[in-house]
Structure 1
Amino acid sequence: MTTPRERLAAVGNQIPPLIALIVLWMLLWGEFSWLNLLVGFVVGMVVTVGFYLVPVQLSGRVHPLRTVVFFVRLIVDIVWASIDVAWLAVKPRLVTSNAILAIRLHTRSDLILTWTAVATSIVPGSIVVDIDRESSILYLHVLNMHSAGDIESFRRRVQNTERRIVRGFGSREEVERMRGVRPENRRAARRAKRMNEKGTS
């Protein structure tokens, strides 16, 4: 059974999609009126209740500087990748060597997994073809992979994208996981440290 707090959290998670649907409805009609607002609310309620999806848990944490770093780096990656793909298109004697890569991520968050997939796909030269949600694995079709070094370089690039997203938007547990320390281990270490301090005092 769910507790009242869990039910309240579930209702709260449905509010952002409801607001987004109302705004989308208003944009489709191209004008604001109380009737459009009311109809948009009704349509949004029908969609969010009738087509209920498991709510995505937001971390509630945003690091402004890390977020700026993520977007700036994403823009730089898009520009450089666009130049590389354009050169491949006009390069004489082009020898294509594409690959399907399986890249395991560290995150266990559906939201971070989705954002990493989107951020990787919008950079020219690669596209996500499948996702293993249970194992947090992205399967990508990647252009111009000629060696194991190219594959490893691309793998690090995707994992670095994941790391920047986690640092900007992820929960504290996700940040700890990206540092290679599981949250439960960190908590256990803190408890052990407190116990030792009590024992020596």
Structure 2
Amino acid sequence: MTRGRWRDRCVAALGLTVIWVLLWGSFSALTIVGGLVIAVVVLVVFPLPAVTYAGRIQALGVLRFAGRFALDMVVASFQVVSLAFRFGHVPRSAIVAVTLRAPSDLNLTMTAEALSLVPGSLIVDVDRRRGVLYVHVLGVESAEEAEQFKQDVLDLERRLVRAFGSPAERRILEEAPA
């Protein structure tokens, strides 16, 4: 096993141990050791697939992503509330297929997770081989709104790649049409 793979497993074990301690709500030696043992057992019995991270975290990109993500959460929350309290109106929805431009496993996962956290959108399926996210979107009334949502997802992908992506992924997005 490579040095990077060992490092990844150690980070995963540490993360699982922290979650264990937080769930128990007790910061004692027994809780920490027990959490570490459980984490090692989980990682041996259910090994994680190798995910390589070839990028560097870009501080300015992370700030831009976080700021826009927070704004998207607030705006989407108000949109969902307005749909919920519109009496006599049945909200329409759609399932929109979005083909990502830099469909690495990590980028696909980060984009899907970010989308699922925004109220009114939910990932229903992923075509990993082709890099396609199928997203259920609340409040879509027309084909134009579905296209606008696709563009919003591609913009989200661009912000994520600028924050966390590899140089190769950034090049792909620079060469892709806006």
3-state SS of the aligned residue for 1:128? Answer: strand
Residue 77 of structure 1 pairs with residue 72 of structure 2: yes
User: Which amino acid letter does the alignment assign opposite residue 7 of structure 1?
Assistant: T
- Considering only aligned residues, what root-mean-square deviation do their CA atoms show, in Å? 1.7
For residue 168 of structure 2, the aligned residue among 160, 163, 173 is: 173
User: Which amino acid letter does the alignment assign opposite residue 12 of structure 1?
Assistant: R
Partners of 1:25 and 1:172 in 2: how far apart? 35
Alpha-carbon deviation of 1:167? Answer: 0.2
Identity between Structure 1 and Structure 2 (%) = 40
Distance 1:90 1:11, change over 3 A: same
Alpha-carbon deviation of 1:59? Answer: 3.2
Greater RCO, CA 8 A, separation 6+: 2
Partners of 2:3 and 2:165 in 1: how far apart? 22
- In the other structure, the counterpart of 1:191 is none
Alpha-carbon deviation of 1:95? Answer: 4.4
In structure 1, stretches of 5+ residues that fail to align are 1-5, 182-201
Partners of 1:14 and 1:117 in 2: how far apart? 23
User: Which amino acid letter does the alignment assign opposite residue 171 of structure 2?
Assistant: E
Q: Are the counterparts in 2 of residues 59 and 169 from structure 1 also a CA contact under 8 Å?
A: no
Residue 146 of structure 1 pairs with residue 141 of structure 2: yes
- In the other structure, the counterpart of 1:56 is 51
- Bigger radius of gyration among the two: 1
The TM-score with structure 2 as length reference comes to 0.90
Distance 1:172 1:87, change over 3 A: same
Partners of 2:142 and 2:79 in 1: how far apart? 17
3-state SS of the aligned residue for 2:47? Answer: coil
Query: Which aligned runs of 4 or more in structure 1 are off by greater than 3 angstroms?
Result: none
- In the other structure, the counterpart of 1:195 is none
Alpha-carbon deviation of 1:29? Answer: 3.0
Alpha-carbon deviation of 1:27? Answer: 2.1
The TM-score with structure 1 as length reference comes to 0.81
Map 1:17-96; keep pairs closer than 5 Å.
Answer: 17-96=12-91
- In the other structure, the counterpart of 2:120 is 125
Count matched residues: 176
Alpha-carbon deviation of 1:96? Answer: 3.0
In structure 2, stretches of 5+ residues that fail to align are none
Partners of 2:120 and 2:23 in 1: how far apart? 33
Partners of 1:93 and 1:31 in 2: how far apart? 50
Distance 1:39 1:89, change over 3 A: closer
- In the other structure, the counterpart of 2:95 is 100
Q: Are the counterparts in 2 of residues 14 and 55 from structure 1 also a CA contact under 8 Å?
A: no
